[in-house]
Every structure is written in C-alpha cells, then in structure tokens.
C-alpha cells in the first residue's frame, strides 16, 4: 500500500551546500512528496517555488497550524487580539510563550537576513496563485506547548520557562554548530534545543507526536479527498519520522489518532486539592491564633496581607505597572490566594489593561519588541502579560512564605 521513492537534489545556500531532502511516499491512491526544508536557508524557499511551478501537485500541505497560518497571511490579526479575553480565559502564559518563540524566529531571521517562515510564505502564496488547496497539517502551537508543560515534571517547569526566555532574549549570535542544528529542525525545536537536549519528556510532545500528527493529517486528506499528488513542506527534522509513520502503516485510524494527540492531559487529581488544602490550613491557622489571643490572630492576618500582597505588588512593580495596578495587587493578592478559582494576576492585569489600553502600534511592534528584554517592558501588550505573570508569581511565593510565618508563630507560642 505504501511505496517509498527517494530523490536527492543538490542545492546551494549562503551557508552550506547540501542535498535538499525530498521523498515521495505512496499513500492509498495518492502520492505524497515530503520536502524537508532548512528554515535558515533561502534555498528552501526557492525549492518550494520550483516544485509548485512544475504543476505536478494538486494540493500543498504546510507545517503550520491555523493560528500560525493566520499570523502569516494576516499580520494585522494580532492587533485585533482581545487582551482582556486572553487574560480572562487563562491564556496569558500561552500567548507570552508564543510571542517568545516568535521572537526567537525573528532574531534568527535577522542574523541570516531572511524573512521569518519564508518557505511557508512562498508555499502559501504560490499554491494560492496556482489555485491549489493549502492544507494545514501541524498541531495547534498552544496544544503542543500545553502537552510539553504537562509532560515535564513540575520541578523542571521553571527551568523550562527560564530557558525559553533566555533563548529568545540572548544577544549572542548563532554558532556554526547551532546553525547546523537549525537546518534540521523547525522554530519550536530550535527554541528548545539549547536546554532540551536529551530530554525525553520534551522530545515526545515536541517532535515525535507532531510527526504522528502531521502523518495522520496527510493520511486523512488522502482518504477523504481525490488528491493525486500532495506536496508537503515540512522541517527537515520531521522528514524521517514522518516517512517511517507512513511507510510502516502504523496509523490505521487517522481521526482517532488526531483526537488523541489534540487532547490536553488532565492534571493529577491530587494536584487539584493542594490549593484548597493550603486555604484550609491558612484559615485554620487564623482561627487557632485568635483562640489563643486576639493579638496573635491579628498579627497573623497582618503578616498574611503584608507578605502576600507585598510580594504580588513587587511583581507588578518590577513589570512597571501603573501605581493603581500595584495597589490592586497589594489588596487583591491576600484575598485571591484564599480563593483558588481566581488569581491575583488576572485581577491586576485586567486593571492595567483598563488603565493603559494597548495601542494599535503596540500590537504592530510585537514582532520586533519581543526580541529584546527592554522591548518586553516598553510594549504595553507584553508589559500586561509580564504584570500578569510576575504578580501571580509574587502572590504564589507570598502564600507559602506567609503560610510558614503563620506556622512558625503557632509553634513558637
């Protein structure tokens, strides 16, 4: 059912002379040609253009999800983002991570003097010009990031976040060794490469799952449509994995496999109860304190407000929040920490967004501002995201510090 044909086409680029990986697989009654692209090479964009111009294909598949495709075809879409809705839906961290990944891509593009996602832009543009359908076969970036988050042990998540931020704001140029790695992957893999090497808990959702997902999408297209020959433009790092999936017929039910890979793993049941257990312990501490003496109970409440509210306000201040937003953090954190259904960061960021509404120019500058640490603070959109993250982090730290302080008072009295 599956027949593999291999071709090697010699190309030259500004940085290297190498074979552009191109493999054709027979899937059902449809040929699927997989073009492995080097995202730092203009030669890849040229090869995409050359292949589409042959007229051999009746559909073009690209390694993009709907949200990444939207950014490419409609750069102004970000300016229409409802930031308040993003915060309300708890998507601020995911948006911040997506912006960080985009910043990495922009920094990479500036060093090599290429347009970010050039080969994907060419594939979309030329396919539309040739009146060919464009198939988006990659998994949503938000789903991939969430599956990475859930696949990494909780004690590694801070390292993961810090490593991502460091990788996108670093001013260091890419070394020769890093350039070779960049030629084999895509922007997601490249962004995590510096701190995810040999990490199995990252490899699965970041690479092998996406190999399966894109293969399943291609099989689904071949089964449901009368395509004769599909050109699939993917990162070279996915080529071998996808060829193996298609050649071995390992995906027998593409719809079922896509649904499985789109599912966000549910958190451990015991983790759901931790915030409520902490609330019960804090309230119990207050009650015991007041039964021993009104002075002790009052002192505990004051410590709770000052420590929790103070650290949340400090986080907002570090992000250069409006004075009223900082005051909101101080007042809201002690209360929201006793209600796990709402976070201090959500309240503070909403107040900041109301007091300092982002301008259209802030959205338009996101791609460039996010490439520098200073830009994250100067752009009102990213500053609101930072206020959300840092005030939330401050409140979380304050909860534990104040909790231990209350416990210490009880044991020493």
The answer as to whether 98 is a domain residue is: no
Q: Is residue 92 part of a domain?
A: no
Same domain? For 292 and 309 the reply is yes
Are residues 405 and 299 part of one domain? yes
* 332 and 188 together in one domain: no
| Per-residue pLDDT at 10 | 32
Judgement on whether residues 209 and 293 belong to the same structural domain of the protein: no
Which of the listed residues 262, 292, 310 is the one where a domain comes to its end? Answer: 262
Six-digit token pair at 259?
């649904």
Residue 412 CB burial class (10 angstroms; 0-12, 13-18, ≥19): exposed
Q: What is the mean pLDDT of the chain?
A: 82
224 and 348 belong to one structural domain: no
Whether 94 is in a domain gets the answer no
Residues 230 and 149 in one domain: yes
Q: What is the pLDDT of residues 174-188, one digit of tens each?
A: 655 555 555 555 555
d(CA 162, CA 187) in angstroms, rounded, equals 17
The pLDDT score that the predictor gives to residue 3 is: 39
Q: Confirm whether 371 is domain-assigned.
A: yes
What is the structure's pLDDT at 9?
31
Q: How many CB atoms neighbour CB 121 within 10 A?
A: 16
Among 103-117, 184-198, 241-255, 377-391, where is mean pLDDT lowest?
184-198
CA-based nearest residue to 63, from 114, 149, 138, 130:
138
Both 148 and 206 in one domain: the answer is yes
Same domain, 131 and 8: yes
Residue 24 has pLDDT above 60, yes or no: yes
State which residues form the domain around 77. Answer: 4-82+114-262
What is the Cβ-side half-sphere exposure of residue 401, based on CA atoms within 13 angstroms? 17
Residue written as tokens 């599909």? 230
The 3-class SS string of 302-359 reads HHHHHHHHHHHHHHHHHCCCCHHHHHHHHHHHHHHCCCCCCCHHHHHHHHHHHHCCCC
- 150 and 254, same domain (yes or no): yes
Count of structural domains within the chain: 2
Banded model confidence at residue 87, pLDDT cuts 50, 70, 90: confident
- Would you call 103 helix, strand, or coil by DSSP? helix
Confidence class of residue 1 from pLDDT cuts 50, 70 and 90?
A: very low
- Tokens representing residue 309 in the block: 């509210």
User: Does the residue 107 lie in any domain?
Assistant: no
CA angle at 199 for the pair 117 and 394, rounded to the nearest 5°: 85
Look at residue 5 in the predicted model and tell me its pLDDT: 37
Same domain, 301 and 223: no
> In Å, what is the CA distance from 87 to each residue of 60, 121, 404?
36, 30, 30
pLDDT in tens, 316-374: 999 999 999 999 999 999 999 998 888 899 999 999 988 998 887 888 788 788 878 88
Q: Is the dihedral of CA 316, 319, 320, 325 positive or negative?
A: negative
Q: Last residue of a domain, which of 216, 243, 262?
A: 262
Both 162 and 42 in one domain: the answer is yes
Determine, yes or no, domain membership for 87. Answer: no
Does a structural domain hold residue 100? no
pLDDT band at 218 (very low <50, low <70, confident <90, very high): very high
Of 244, 262, 280, the residue at which a domain comes to its end is 262
* Helix, strand or coil, per DSSP, at residue 293: coil
- Do residue 129 and residue 163 come from a single domain? yes
99 inside domain: no
Question: Which two structure tokens, joined as six digits, stand for 137?
Answer: 């076969």
Least confident piece of the model among 186-195, 200-209, 334-343 = 186-195
């Amino acid at each position: 059912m599956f027949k593999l044909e291999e071709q090697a086409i010699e190309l030259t680029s500004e940085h290297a002379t190498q074979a552009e990986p191109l493999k054709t697989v027979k899937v059902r009654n449809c040929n699927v040609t997989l073009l492995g692209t080097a995202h730092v090479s203009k030669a890849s964009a040229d090869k995409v253009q050359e292949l589409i111009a042959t007229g051999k294909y009746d559909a073009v598949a690209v390694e993009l999800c709907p949200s990444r495709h939207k950014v490419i075809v409609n750069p102004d879409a970000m300016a229409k983002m409802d930031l308040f809705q993003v915060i309300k839906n708890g998507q601020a961290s995911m948006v911040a991570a997506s912006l960080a990944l985009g910043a990495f891509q922009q920094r990479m593009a500036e060093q090599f003097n290429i347009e970010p996602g050039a080969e994907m832009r060419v594939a979309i543009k030329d396919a539309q010009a040739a009146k060919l359908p464009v198939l988006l076969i990659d998994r949503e970036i938000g789903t991939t990031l969430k599956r990475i988050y859930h696949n990494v042990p909780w004690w590694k998540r801070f390292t993961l976040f810090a490593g991502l931020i460091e990788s996108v704001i670093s001013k260091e140029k890419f070394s020769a060794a890093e350039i070779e790695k960049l030629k084999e992957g895509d922007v997601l893999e490249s962004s995590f490469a510096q701190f995810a090497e040999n990490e199995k808990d990252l490899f699965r959702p970041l690479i092998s799952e996406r190999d399966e997902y894109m293969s399943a999408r291609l099989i689904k297209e071949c089964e449901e449509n009368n395509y004769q020959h599909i050109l699939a433009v993917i990162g070279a790092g996915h080529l071998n994995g996808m060829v193996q999936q298609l050649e071995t017929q390992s995906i027998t039910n593409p719809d079922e496999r896509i649904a499985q890979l789109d599912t966000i793993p549910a958190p451990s049941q015991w983790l759901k109860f931790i915030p409520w257990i902490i609330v019960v312990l804090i309230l119990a501490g207050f009650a015991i304190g007041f039964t021993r003496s009104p002075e002790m109970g009052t002192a505990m409440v004051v410590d709770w407000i000052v420590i929790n509210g103070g650290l949340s306000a400090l986080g907002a201040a570090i992000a250069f929040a409006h004075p009223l937003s900082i005051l909101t953090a101080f007042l809201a954190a002690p209360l929201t920490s006793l209600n796990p259904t709402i976070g201090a960061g959500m309240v503070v960021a909403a107040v900041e967004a109301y007091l300092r509404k982002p301008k259209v120019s802030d959205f338009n500058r996101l791609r460039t501002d996010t490439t520098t640490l200073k830009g994250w603070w100067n752009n009102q959109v990213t500053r609101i995201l930072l206020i959300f993250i840092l005030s939330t982090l401050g409140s979380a730290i304050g909860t534990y510090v104040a909790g231990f302080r209350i416990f210490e008072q009880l044991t020493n009295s």
